[in-house]
Amino acid sequence: MCVIHETEERDYYCRKCQSQICKLCRNEEHKGHRTRPLSAFVNTKRRELLEAVDNIKKGYLERLKGTLSEVTKQVEEMSCSVESVLSAVMERAEQLKREIDEIRDQLMEDIKSKETTALLYLEKVKSVLNTQLLAAGSCVQYIQNVLTLGTDRDVFSVSTSVDEQFQEMQNGKPIADIEETKIEFEAGDLRTELLQTGFGHCMMRSSGPQRSRSVSFAVGKTRDLSIQLVASFEYAQDDADDECTGDESVHALASTSTGEAWVCCGWESTLLTLIDNTGNLVKQIDIEARIDDVTKTEDGCILISCLRDYSVKKLDKNLEISKLFKMPFYPRGLAISADGGLLVCMTDEYSTSVLKDSRRLVAKYSESGDLIKSFENDGNRRLFTRPYRVKENINGDICVTDKTSMGAGRLVVLDEDGNLKYIYEGNTSNGVYGRSFSPAGLCCDLNGRILVADSNNHSIHILDKSGQFIGHLLTREDGLNCPHALSLDPNGYLWVGDENGCFKIYLYL
């Protein structure tokens, strides 16, 4: 019944107010509103609900049942799969045991062989000594008998004949040399991480989209990595630095094994700064030349490319600066190769415009500054437009981010002899913004995967060493904003510096 007109049934529906009303309300409070008889409205709603229920039964409920069936199937398959994997692990362990037993047996044979050789030598020395001992003893015994029992004539005769022999023995007649021989065992390098690498690792694979993720891998690719943010901070400009221009882009970054990193922020900056993993300034050195890139040598020194100075400088462990090389062109990205050489990106002009006689190359120098080789052309084709940053992968590949225009670029990968292997021009699937691929800093992990910062798309791409796109390691959803510089330290921490002077440190596994 109507709450206003208590004797009237609410037989109408007001569309504007979305309520039931009586015929008197329809002509008073709801006059001018669009209304329908309640029965007609209910019939329409009934039909819509029936259609919705039917759609849900045929659609959503069926998908739920199908998914549940698939999950049930996967549960059953998981047991079989795990049993197979466990068997593979056990077989791998048995294989390694057999290989270790074989190595042991070979070592035992080698030890026995060395023992035989040593014993033969010692027996030979022993035989010589016994011969010398017997001869000397016989001589002494004979003389003693003559002295005791012989006549004067006998003693005189003997003294004349053995005088030389006695003289040799009294003066230290040479005795066979004895070389001390030991058989020792020197244990090899059996660090846990080396054993784990040689033994193998477990991977979990997914054939569907990852809906809840910490690492944004592409559909259908391996998901055997995890990444966890452990620190985030802004670059703290030194208050005493009155040359600050407001540009704090992190363009040079070299992390260390001690939880610190050498960085340069701001394209006009001459300051090389050591910061810890909380953003605190540890040291700051004025290189007195504009810094483009930095890299760390095996002995802990820092090499710095100075663009406008046409040089590579060295900061030693005593914080002394010296000019290491004079470059023929503008030096950009730097990297230390496995054999101790230095890879340098070089351009004759800053522009991405390339003329017939333009020089755009990556060169490799020895520690003494001698040019070993340069990579500039693949046959008649240029390899680079403006090579920017470089890293050597674990398989010897030379990975170079190449700027092809303002705001766009590509990854060029060469083998160790400079032959072109592949070119990666970006992948903007999986939720990134679809702008031009703009690669900047890069690094390679212990498995040969290549990580590339894409500042335009606020993401870090990850590729396997054959150039196949695995996915986006991090995106803007993970808090990235214009990532530029990357560095992976020996402890597995990934440092990311962006174009706004911010740093993020991730535990990368």
Count of beta carbons in the 10 Å neighbourhood of residue 32: 8
Average pLDDT over residues 247-272: 92
pLDDT digits (tens, 9 = 90+) for 381-399: 999 999 999 999 999 999 9
pLDDT digits (tens, 9 = 90+) for 297-335: 999 999 999 999 999 999 999 999 999 889 999 999 999
Largest CA distance in the chain: 171
Q: CA nearest 485: which of 469, 498, 472, 474?
A: 498
Kindly give, in sequence order, each residue whose CB lies less than 8 Å from that of residue 286, ignoring residues fewer than 6 positions away: 270, 271, 272
In terms of C-beta distances under 8 Å and separation of at least 24 residues, what long-range contacts does 340-346 make, across chains too?
A: 340/298, 340/366, 340/367, 341/365, 341/366, 341/367, 341/372, 342/303, 342/312, 342/366, 342/367, 343/390, 343/392, 343/398, 344/305, 344/312, 344/390, 345/384, 345/387, 345/388, 345/389, 345/390, 345/400, 346/387
pLDDT digits (tens, 9 = 90+) for 124-170: 888 888 888 888 888 888 888 888 888 888 778 777 777 666 666 66
Kindly give, in sequence order, each residue whose CB lies less than 8 Å from that of residue 129, ignoring residues fewer than 6 positions away: 175, 176
Strands lying side by side in the sheet with 281-286: 250-255, 260-265, 271-276, 281-286
* Least-confidence region, from 115-119, 159-163, 312-316, 503-507: 159-163
Q: Answer whether residue 424 shows pLDDT above 90.
A: yes
CA 415 to CA 392: how far, in whole Å? 10
Count of beta carbons in the 10 Å neighbourhood of residue 295: 24
The pLDDT, as a whole number, for residue 202 is 66
Count of beta carbons in the 10 Å neighbourhood of residue 474: 25
**Among the ranges 14-28, 176-190, 309-323, 432-446, which has the highest mean pLDDT value?**
309-323
Q: Answer positive or negative: Cα dihedral of 485, 486, 489, 491.
A: positive
Contact 23, 12 (CB under 8 A): yes
Domain-wise residue ranges, the chain: 12-58, 83-199, 216-508
The pLDDT, as a whole number, for residue 451 is 96
**Among the ranges 121-130, 190-199, 224-233, 484-493, which has the highest mean pLDDT value?**
484-493
CA triple 421-422-424, angle to 5 deg? 155
State which H helix or E strand residue 242 sits in: none
Supply 332's token pair: 């950009």
The CATH architecture of the domain made up of 216-508 is: 6 Propeller (2.120)
**Among the ranges 32-41, 94-103, 325-334, which has the highest mean pLDDT value?**
325-334
Proportion of the chain above pLDDT 90, given as a percent:
42
pLDDT digits (tens, 9 = 90+) for 51-60: 778 768 877 7
Count of beta carbons in the 10 Å neighbourhood of residue 151: 9
